[in-house]
A and B are shown apart, each in its own frame.
Chain A
Amino acid sequence: MTDTANPPTAAMGGRRAITWRRRWAAARQVWRTFARSRSGLVGLGILVLIVVLALLAPVLSDAAQLDVTQATGARMAAPSGQDWLGTDESGRSVLVLLWWGSRISLLVGFAAAALCVGIGTVVGLLAAHFGRWVAAILLRVTDFFLVLPSLVLAVALSAALHAGTGTVILAIGLTSWPVTARLVRAQTLTVETRPYIERARALGGGHWHVVLRHVLPAVLPLVLANTTLNVANAIIAESTLAFLGVGDLSSTSWGEMLHAAWTNGAVTAGAWWYLLPPGLAIVVVVLAFTLCGRALESVLTPALRGGGRR
């Protein structure tokens, strides 16, 4: 840090350059700690690969291959040179289905996790910061959602609302936030006892100022690590809903594939190539997110890091 100390004569442009150099150095430091965890790197590698492939699906392949009326293969044909992972009940390539299914699964995973973390963070922060009756109300609502079987609630929600990917995201997001809210509340309570929070209040800072400027930045790293785990959970939840048949039947996701394989008798037909790939894909993506989350956690928790400044 000392070698980048600010020379007093630095011009405005020079100062900005120094700011960026420091940010770059800080980012490199985070990366170095992250990279120390080999499993984290593996997880990140898998994730990047899958996300890139999912994004490139419309460029590298043709959506028409998903159309049952244009399918060319035989019914539930075993893997061959032409269809590497065989075909489904309509003769579509399982590999193409898997590829396009990753888009919906990832979209639902990220969006539902974002919704869940968003609601959870706001509720947790407000409950911990204001305490008293605000906390009483918010925590009772949290408890209410916590004790409800979230799967049943999600099934009921997706059945009651208009079917579609948005509904699935909403159903998963609305049922999974209580855990995040509890976590954020606990961390906020810890941060709020720090003397610099008292100082911020003594400065004349209002609730808005204290929460946004001092509490949120201290809570955010935890929220970030929590988000990666939430994405994994949301992907599983989406697959579960789709497998139970309450998802969006018109789109292809990994859960939909499992559902279709199940209802079309892939098990009795011995079509393992239809059942296994989506199941394994879910396992791999969830594992990758978990590995990343664990590595991120070690970056953010000084106790696990070692060699810190203090």
Chain B
Amino acid sequence: MSETPLLEFRGVGIDYVTHRGVVPAVRGVDLTVDAGETLGLAGESGCGKSTLALSVLRLLPATAKVSGQVLLDGADVRELNWGQLRAVRWAGASVVFQGAMHALNPVQRISDQIAEPILIHGGRPAGGVSARVSELLDRVGLPKGRSRAYPHELSGGQRQRVMIAMALACEPRLIIADEPTTALDVMVQAQVLDLLAELVAEARVGLMMISHDLSVLARTCQRLAVMYAGRIVEHGPAAQVVRAPVHPYSAALAGAFPTIGDVASRLAPRGLPGDPPDPADLPSGCPFHPRCPKMRDECTEVDVALRVAGPDRDAACVLVDAPGVSR
């Protein structure tokens, strides 16, 4: 940890100022991503994971108020002026958006759209822009002949490949993938994930991947952070978090994906009752206690901060203290 991490969140809180009052979407998150590292961010809809990710490039709407520090390469993105911010966008960190169909302009050719960030950042790649576009298409496994296609002429997987090519265009050091495989079928999903993992390993860029699907994150990421109600509730090496979750919420998320061939998991489906809490009206104590299968009396009063739950692992749960609990 001697060198500056690529991306560091320090006590980040994000509030949305709405007509209903101030709604906290993210509450005190500390997280780091080093160069060449892949971090997965898991959680249900509305837990604040996309809000957290978009704060890196200051893409949040004007109603969002960010507190704490978001450090990209050691510089707080909140203090950048407009010009510096534009320079950091895409050249420092790029985004693979969810729903590639909508994130691509329907009336422009994909080659023009991939060239767009290169031209914006004044890049003069060797061999010209079109050669660079062909090279990028080649890297994401799209035939060169497709470069003049319009988005609607491509399949869902091909569109997501275009988005990835676009994310790589300016050789950023960090890629944020916001649910890159939603709405793709499982085979294509696997191909896209493998491609992403391969490119990240090849170029040694940091990857922050957001998904509600733990199996997707376990496949691609080295480390995993589970978010609930705007806060990180568990954090550790991906394989361990998925296989032996400490926090009851992570356990429920991991349990939501049955192991193929495991009769026990088939016979005992473990869903999670209830809905995630309304961020404007959080329950007292631990926000998870109304849905927690292992709730204790003190859970309604004590809001637990992250505690050490083993080597390189943290969890925010009262159960962590007692020796040998977890599951």
A and B assemble together:
yes
Contact flags A195-206 to B (C-beta < 8 A → 1, else 0): 110111111111
Given A7-B145, A218-B107, A199 and B152 touching (CB < 8 A)?
Answer: no
CB neighbours (8 Å) of A209 from chain B are 120
A29 within 8 A of B: no
A156 to B148, CA, bound (A): 54
Known: A8-B144, A194-B102, A205-B120. A199 touches B97 (CB 8 A): yes
A interface residues with partner B (beta carbon < 8 Å): 1, 5-8, 194-196, 198-206, 209, 213-214, 217-218, 309-310
Closest 5 pairs between A and B when the two form their complex, measured CB to CB: A204-B89, A195-B102, A204-B86, A203-B117, A196-B105
B residues 68-89 with Cβ under 8 Å of A?
A: 86-89
Cα separation A198 to B153 with both chains bound (whole Å)? 22
- Please report the C-alpha to C-alpha distance between residue A289 and residue B94 in the assembled complex, in whole angstroms: 48
Q: A5-B145, A199-B95, A214-B105 are in contact. List 13 more A-B contacts (CB 8 A).
A: A195-B99, A196-B105, A199-B103, A201-B89, A202-B94, A203-B117, A204-B88, A204-B89, A204-B117, A204-B120, A204-B121, A205-B120, A309-B152
Partner of A196, one of B59, B104, B153: B104
Classify chain B's interface size: 20 to 34
Per-residue A-contact encoding for B158-181, CB less than 8 Å = 1, 0 else: 000000001000000000000000
Q: Is B25 an interface residue (CB 8 A)?
A: no
- Distance to closest chain A CB from B125 (angstroms): 16
Q: B121-151, CB under 8 A of A: which get 1 and which 0? A: 1000000000000000000000011001000
Instruction: Give Cα A213–Cα B112 distance, bound, in whole angstroms.
Output: 11
B103 touching A196, Cβ below 8 Å: yes
B176 to chain A: closest residue by CB: A202
Q: Is the Cβ of B90 less than 8 Å from the Cβ of A202? A: yes
Tell whether, in the assembled complex, residue A202 and residue B57 are in contact, meaning their CB atoms are under 8 Å apart.
yes
Is B116 engaged at the interface, CB distance under 8 Å to the other chain?
yes
Residue in contact with B145 in the complex, picked from A6, A206, A310, CB distance below 8 Å: A6
Are B91 and A201 touching (Cβ within 8 A)?
no
| Distance, CA A209 to CA B86, complexed state (A) | 12
> Would you call A8 and B145 a contact (CB within 8 A)?
yes
Known: A1-B153, A209-B120. A202 touches B107 (CB 8 A): no
Q: Can you list 15 A-B pairs, Cβ within 8 angstroms, ordered by A?
A: A1-B153, A8-B145, A195-B99, A196-B106, A201-B59, A201-B89, A202-B57, A202-B97, A203-B166, A204-B88, A204-B89, A205-B86, A205-B120, A206-B86, A309-B152
Q: Once bound together, how far apart are the Cα atoms of A201 and B86, in whole Å?
A: 8
Would you give the 0/1 interface string for B46-59, flagging 1 where the beta carbon is closer than 8 Å to chain A? 00000000000101
List of B residues within 8 angstroms of A8 by Cβ: 144-145
Cα A4 to Cα B103 in complex, Å, equals: 26
The smallest beta-carbon distance between B240 and chain A, in angstroms, is 33
Complexed CA–CA distance, A8 and B130 (Å):
13
Contact check: which of B87, B94, B97, B116 meets A195 at CB < 8 Å?
B97
Residues 246 to 303 of chain B near chain A (Cβ within 8 Å) = none
Nearest-Cβ distance from residue A135 to partner chain B, whole angstroms: 13
* Distance (whole angstroms) from the CB of B142 to the closest CB of chain A: 13
CB distance from A306 to the nearest CB of B (A): 17
Chain B positions within 8 Å of A199 at CB level: 95, 97, 103-104
Q: How far is the CB of B101 from chain A (nearest CB, A)?
A: 9
Contacts of A200 in B (CB 8 A): 105, 116
Nearest CB of A to B128, in Å: 12
Q: Which of A8, A199, A201 has the most CB of B within 10 A?
A: A199
Least Cβ–Cβ distance between B84 and chain A, in angstroms: 11
Nearest opposing residue in chain A for B99, CB measure = A195
Shortest distance from the beta carbon of B168 to any chain A beta carbon, whole Å? 13
B10 CB to nearest chain A CB (Å)? 23
Distance (whole angstroms) from the CB of A198 to the closest CB of chain B: 7
Taking the closest CB of chain A, its distance from the CB of B241, in whole angstroms, is 29
Min distance, Cβ A204 to any Cβ of chain B, angstroms: 4
Contacts of A309 in B (CB 8 A): 152
Q: Which chain A residues lie closer than 8 Å to B86 at the CB level?
A: 204-206
| A202-B104 CB under 8 A given contacts A1-B153, A310-B152 | no
